[in-house]
Structure 1
Amino acid sequence: MSTTDTDVGGAFTLSDDELDPYITHAGTRQWLTGPGLPSGGALLGFGALREHGLRRLADLAGDAERLAEELRDQLVIGALRSLDRDLESIVLDGTTGEVSTTDVHRNPALMDLSPLAPSLEALLRFAAATEELTASRGRFGTSGQFGPKAVTEASDRLSTVFGAAAAADVPPYWRMAALIRPLARIAGPGDGLVLDLSKRLLDEEFGAGGIMRFEDVDFPSALVHEPTRRFLRETGLPEDGLLFQLDTEVPLPALSEYYADERPGDFTADELPAAAHRLIRLGHLLEDTSLVVDGTTGAVLAWSEPDLTLRPLNADISTLAFTLWLLHREKTLDAIHGLSDAYGQLAATMTQTLAVIDPVACDPTPLLDGDDGWRYWPEIFEDQAGGTLYAWAPART
């Protein structure tokens, strides 16, 4: 295999001999021997092609005889990426040049194709536009534009890019990119918090009657982080955040006080986090997982009873509220557009969108004593059996 640039951000190519006999589509041959494929990218990875060359699905499937005839000669050229790992495989039709995705680890008899792009050129153009939006550069580089109007404009601009090259419907992965990813522009930087998330935004999404706002008398003395106090007073949190149940019994207790008053004898002081006296319990994610905010730093954490582990949940109270808003928005969009028909791709899109706003929520790097890197939001998004992202999915308790 020949390479034109081995650096990240460069491109690598294949020779004519390496394309034979698999690829006969003229435009695809010209692209692979000319501009080539990027060496690195946030959404698309072509490491397998670079390392192993062209391989047919029939050569990779464990029981190739059970593959549908039209799948056997599809060529595996890469994978969709989500943060630090590969998702579905990207496959190429050597005759038509069309690009699709499939799960090569699935039962061969159940494997199918999901359209991704009409050509390699369109695929790379779609990915480049999406990455420009994520990084706020290029056609999406205008700074200082946040709010509903900015979200709509970014969504329309992405949709135009995708629609211009798609002969029929825009493939699901890019349709959800145009609908979900621009939501990261709903709010600008906050004062002392990551986001300046407006009271009106939550009121419109959850209903004014569904938002709980606190008074100073509700805050324990351990909650000294003023930006968090201000957010809880002025903006508030949804009482029922689908995956988060706010504790409306006020005043808010420190975690140590909660167990001493509500569940005496369940845990010893040694079993609770060392900072339990300054961890303010806001409610619960699951019945056995408390959501707490560090009264000194404003960090939002999850305390799991089964494994006695404190883990990062969100950077602060504003990104927690954004996460709940994002999930609520996604369910509304799913009801209209059926995004969850491609559930794995939707989960990856949700995680990547959240990571733009709040890397802490998605980064598995251990940050606390005993932290194993498990992160609640990405895991819950990906739990298709639990149905978190389905429009009809009930809230967990």
Structure 2
Amino acid sequence: MSTTDTGSTAITLTEAELDRYVTHAPTRGLLAGPGLPAETDLLTFSPLRTHGLRTLADAAGGPFRVAEELRSRLVIGELLNPAGMTPESILLDGVTGEITTAYLFEPSDPRPFAPSLDTLLRFAAVTEELAGLRVRLATPAGQFGPRTVAEASRRLLALFEEGTDGRVPPYWKAAALIRPLALVAGPGAASGLTLDVPARVLDQEFGHGRVARFEEVDFPGTLTHEPTRRFLRETGLPEEAVLFLADTDVPLPTLREYFADERGGDYPLDELPAHCDHLIRLGHLVDQNSLVIDGRTGAVLTFSEPEATLHPLNTDVSTLAFTLFLLHHERTIDEHLGRELTTRAYDQLAAAMLHTLTTLDPTATLPETAWHYWTEILRNAPHGSL
């Protein structure tokens, strides 16, 4: 095995290394010639550098764990799933050149991925271009919104269908339908927040009359972060979304006021955070979690009642709104894909959603975030149960 420096380090294999495993001529040419990138935004081939070519039977711990027809598949890489998710291996059929994926603890259930290595690299490249597109659009003339999302999804699906004769694997369907959602809102140049989320985006997604917009009288005096006040007045939050129910019946209470007045004193106030008068409750999440905002900074957090602990949730209300939009949009996936992606390949859908979320809001990846509600929900939810 060797590496070639062409601006980035490529992984190549010698003819002698390939002779034992790979007979498919185009695949041999790619592996012995241009080679494979060690890592992209979506996947890594670095296991080749660590282990060399090895069969699925060897990688999974022995031939008795792998069906006979799968034993000779070659483990050449892994999908780069978000932290905490089990790595999914990329497998090569050395005779046909076909690419599949499988978990090494469950190697009898491979999933289609691409008809060839060359196609796989093209699919990965165009999907990664979305990140570059967002950067290029981050100008005063940049175009964001539902139309931009729809066009990006349309182009990706068309390319994937062309490359797979119309039989697009679930991973790439998720890439086409979920990852472009990062283009629904532009950088927060006007709002003073992370994102400029147009009010019409929430109205279109959740329905007119189902987005709560607050008035000045609804805000406690400790909500002093003006961009947050403006967002809640002009853009608002959905009254009800996946896992979230907003407080709309009364003026927004501080965390102390909520437990003292709304809960009838059934929670010990001395277990509340010391700065609870600056934490404004926007609503609640499942599992006895209050969704609160720090009135001084605009940061969005969860307060766990059983544990009496605060955890970072979103950078601000704009990325909270995007998260609720993303989770709600996932509910519409069935009508595009049937049940395949939200059941058998839900883990791949969840990975795409987490990647899209962290593209716009890095809260889950920050060193101070030891536990993150959205991440735990997405990666641990039973198939299609959100």
Would the TM-score normalized by the shorter structure come out above 0.5?
yes
2:263 maps to 1:266: no
Report the residue type matching 1:100 in the other structure.
Answer: T
Report the residue type matching 1:366 in the other structure.
Answer: E
RMSD: 2.0
Deviation of 1:353 after TM superposition, in Å, equals: 0.7
The equivalent of 1:283 in structure 2 is 283
Output the CA distance in 2 between the equivalents of 1:287 and 1:115.
36
Q: Identify if the C-alpha distance between structure 1 residues 57 and 243 changes in structure 2 by more than 3 Å, giving closer, same or farther.
A: same
CA contact (8 A) 1:6 1:39 kept: no
Deviation of 1:209 after TM superposition, in Å, equals: 2.4
Output the CA distance in 2 between the equivalents of 1:263 and 1:56.
63
Deviation of 1:133 after TM superposition, in Å, equals: 0.6
The equivalent of 2:156 in structure 1 is 158
Report the residue type matching 1:71 in the other structure.
Answer: L
The equivalent of 1:179 in structure 2 is 177
Report the residue type matching 1:126 in the other structure.
Answer: F
The equivalent of 2:301 in structure 1 is 301
Output the CA distance in 1 between the equivalents of 2:62 and 2:274.
53
The equivalent of 2:347 in structure 1 is 344
Output the CA distance in 1 between the equivalents of 2:137 and 2:203.
28
2:126 maps to 1:129: yes
Output the CA distance in 2 between the equivalents of 1:321 and 1:354.
11
Output the CA distance in 2 between the equivalents of 1:141 and 1:198.
20
The equivalent of 2:167 in structure 1 is 169
Report the residue type matching 1:312 in the other structure.
Answer: P
CA contact (8 A) 1:364 1:374 kept: no
Per-residue CA deviations over 1:223-262 (Å, capped at 9, x if unaligned) read 1111111111122111111111112231111112222222
Bigger drift between 204-213 and 173-182 goes to: 204-213
Deviation of 1:26 after TM superposition, in Å, equals: 0.7
The equivalent of 1:120 in structure 2 is 117
The equivalent of 1:238 in structure 2 is 238
CA contact (8 A) 1:71 1:112 kept: no
Q: What secondary structure does 2:281 align onto?
A: strand
The equivalent of 2:56 in structure 1 is 57
Bigger drift between 56-65 and 289-298 goes to: 56-65
Output the CA distance in 2 between the equivalents of 1:198 and 1:256.
32
Deviation of 1:118 after TM superposition, in Å, equals: 1.0
Output the CA distance in 2 between the equivalents of 1:45 and 1:36.
13
The equivalent of 1:316 in structure 2 is 316
CA contact (8 A) 1:202 1:325 kept: yes
The equivalent of 1:44 in structure 2 is 43
2:361 maps to 1:358: yes
Q: What secondary structure does 2:345 align onto?
A: helix
Deviation of 1:150 after TM superposition, in Å, equals: 0.9
The equivalent of 1:23 in structure 2 is 22
Per-residue CA deviations over 1:103-149 (Å, capped at 9, x if unaligned) read 1112x5xx211111111111111111111112327xx9455110112
Report the residue type matching 2:365 in the other structure.
Answer: D
Output the CA distance in 2 between the equivalents of 1:301 and 1:235.
20
Q: TM-score scaled by structure 2?
A: 0.92
Bigger drift between 227-236 and 80-89 goes to: 80-89
Q: Identify if the C-alpha distance between structure 1 residues 63 and 160 changes in structure 2 by more than 3 Å, giving closer, same or farther.
A: same
List alignment gaps of at least 5 residues for structure 1.
Answer: 368-372
Bigger drift between 227-236 and 63-72 goes to: 63-72
2:179 maps to 1:146: no
Alignment of 1:72-111 (within 5 A): 72-84=71-83, 87-106=87-106, 111=108
Per-residue CA deviations over 1:82-119 (Å, capped at 9, x if unaligned) read 2457631100000001111011112x5xx211111111
Bigger drift between 331-340 and 277-286 goes to: 331-340
Q: Runs (4+) of structure 1 moved beyond 3 Å?
A: 83-86, 140-143
Output the CA distance in 2 between the equivalents of 1:174 and 1:265.
49
Q: What secondary structure does 2:112 align onto?
A: strand
CA contact (8 A) 2:97 2:116 kept: yes
Count how many residue pairs are aligned between Structure 1 and Structure 2.
Answer: 376
Report the residue type matching 2:368 in the other structure.
Answer: P
2:213 maps to 1:192: no
Output the CA distance in 2 between the equivalents of 1:151 and 1:91.
31
Report the residue type matching 1:301 in the other structure.
Answer: L
Q: Identify if the C-alpha distance between structure 1 residues 306 and 132 changes in structure 2 by more than 3 Å, giving closer, same or farther.
A: same
Report the residue type matching 1:133 in the other structure.
Answer: L
Output the CA distance in 1 between the equivalents of 2:292 and 2:82.
26
Output the CA distance in 2 between the equivalents of 1:192 and 1:151.
23
Deviation of 1:299 after TM superposition, in Å, equals: 0.7
Q: What secondary structure does 1:311 align onto?
A: strand
Output the CA distance in 1 between the equivalents of 2:269 and 2:326.
37
Report the residue type matching 1:205 in the other structure.
Answer: E
Output the CA distance in 2 between the equivalents of 1:267 and 1:187.
41
